[in-house]
Structure 1
Amino acid sequence: MTQIAVLTPAADDPAYKSHWPVVLERLSAALAMADVTAVPTAWTDHIADASGLMHYPLVLGVLTWGYYERHPDWLAATTLWGEAGVRVANPASVLNWNSDKSYLRRLETAGVPIPPTVWSDGVSQGQADAAFDRFGTDTLVVKPTVSGGAWKTVKLSRGETLTNAPDGPAMIQPFLPELVANGELSLLFFGGRLSHAVMKRARAGDFRVQVQYGGDYVHVSEPPAGAVALAERVLGAIKEPLLYARIDMVQSGSNWVLMEAELVEPDFYLSQAPDGGRMFAEAVRGRLASGA
């Protein structure tokens, strides 16, 4: 069997210690369908020296959870991997720029609809108060541009004092009630092909859809045509060759809007994939065969 590397969280990061091995096992079971074996290695072991990755025919960055807490190291590592020619997927350039949600501004310029957003170098109470009126809403969501899994994300109601505001660059958006009412839809693509779709819903009383906050995930057998069209528009705006992509979106009114294009370390929700991840494995095998 062909051995490939799968980059994992830092060994000294306790936040994901119990969860990432479960996801790795799921990925490994899928890869075995293509006679591929996954060898885990912490991404933080390859920040200053890429030699430990060079002998692998392919390196996947899909389990680098927590990179946003060490973002300067992440930028240094992905830059190094790109310069050294590490055969990493998604490409090191994508792992670099996709780690900062300001990429949404570029996609919006390319015609991809996103929620109304105020971009800030440091959110103040005054900015938040002005955003309520600008968006015509009584509820905002404030989150860092470098984040993951709702890390340091704050929901703020009109009249509340902004506390625990993200440090540094952040985004302010109107809270989308459809996120709670209907959920967030994720479309999974491998090798440019749609694999499966999953609807994620927050537990009662919360707005965060992630499973660690009690979110519930349900397979969607036939995603709406408008959602698929949005995902394809997003992928069409990205010129680098993607091995995998998870496109997260919410239906706001009659339109679908992009929440995030997850191209670094998304959970693929393979337990909800009807084929158990075979399309993912085939995409990996195809990338190996191409030598790219």
Structure 2
Amino acid sequence: MAGSPSEEEIMAAIEASGYLMEQEVATQLERRGLHVRTNVAFEDSEEGKSREIDVTAITRVAVDETEKVGALVELLVECKNTANPFVFIARPKNEADRRRTPEEFVFPYEYKMSKDLGGGRSTYRPLPPFNHLGFDKVFDAHVKPWKAVQFCRIDRQGKGWHANHGGLYDAIFYPMAKALNARRKERPKPTRAEDWHYIWLYFPLVVTSGDLFLIDASVEAPRPEPVDHVSFERELKSAKLSGSFMVTFVRQRALERFMADVVDPLSTLCRDLIENRLAFMRENDLPWVD
């Protein structure tokens, strides 16, 4: 056996490591005009240690320089170089699910509906910006009638296959939630009316080289169906990390389609709000609607 690896062996080892996949994803997003960074450090809020996320990509999708209002899309990407498929179990959404608003979307203004009760009395009710501005009609994960409630990876076990979920939440979900929290803390926040105000849409993504399957648990004979992307939401509660966090799994070969079908419609809505309906977006005291 030779004392050093051949060029083919070096490339095989590098491809198996996933390092090239990270660069491929970064290049693909860069070609779309996003500002891309790889191996980006962030502070682990629970352990106080420095962690890394494989790729971040950000772009400004709308701006009004005079009024100091803008909209940005930011992707936080972990790359998983694996031939093993991820499988998601889904069920129909209930009424509470349909009222949820994603914490990954940050809006510059708050809204409330007010009602005069007479005799100098009034009442008000907050209205989520996600709904008031129309994002609930456009965001793919919100519009879908089902939700993913469990996921696993199908791994080889002996001569058969095993549905493995051990350690996946710790290895995938928690780091993505921590990265999102770290980035949200770094976001510029207005303290005065004349400061810049932003719509900021974060997309925590797991891009996998393997396949994705969805199983609808509500049908009589569930079967795995291939899909290009799946959004998965989990509520986390710990001393320094709490809330509902959504991570979207995307097949690497379908990343461009995900951007076109999921991200671009939201960018278009942001541009419409800032370029054509800025007065509507800024009006935060609204008439009561039952």
TM-score, normalized by length of structure 2? 0.25
Greater relative contact order, per chain length (Cα 8 Å cut-off, separation 6+) = 2
State which structure, 1 or 2, has the greater radius of gyration over its C-alpha atoms.
Answer: 2
Choose between structure 1 and 2: higher strand proportion: 2
Give the helix-richer structure, 1 or 2. 1
TM-score, length basis structure 1: 0.25
